Amino acid sequence: MKHSTMFEDYTASLGSKLEMLLKCQPLAEVELAVYAEKAGLYLFSEEDQHLYVGRTDDLKERIQTQRRLGSATNQAAFAYAIAKKELGIANVPYSTKNPTHPKNVKGFEAAFRRAKERVRAMTVRVVKESDPVGQALLEIYIHLRLQTPFNNFSNH
């Protein structure tokens, strides 16, 4: 593949992949078994409001981890973002020894648990995409098209 056409080749399918994602019926927990060890993107929504798009090399495991009540903040990134927004926490310092780290903010653990319960109640749709570059481009494209409010592409 020539470098001049690589980007065009990747971006040519973005619109159709988004259509496939939106046409996917929301999946129940038992239906995720079909996607075990499959790479792709997932979209969490509440009714018609699309809130978060993510990518993974194992759709079933990643979605279950995002929904698991016992997941830690580094495992349930979506719930973590919801809890931070609820408490008005903008920037996250790396060290948990820092008093402004979310884990040190009063009420954070309760907000994080509520957020995980909220994520568990959301619908989820998936679309397969095994290529890592295709996943990255598709995640950004879906975020921009659907304006998913809990995606954050800032550097750490």
> In the chain, where are the structural domains located?
25-146
Query: For residue range 41-62, what is the model confidence (pLDDT) as tens digits?
Result: 999 999 999 999 999 999 999 9
| Helix 108-121 / helix 77-87 crossing angle, nearest 10 deg | 130
pLDDT in tens, 61-78: 999 999 999 999 889 999
CATH topology of domain 25-146: GIY-YIG endonuclease (3.40.1440)
pTM of the model: 0.89
CA angle 43–121–37, rounded 5-degree value: 50
What does the DSSP 8-state code read for residue 104?
G
Of 29-33, 44-48, 56-60, 141-145, least confident by mean pLDDT is 29-33
pLDDT reading at 4 higher than 70? no
49-56 and 123-128 strand pairing: unpaired
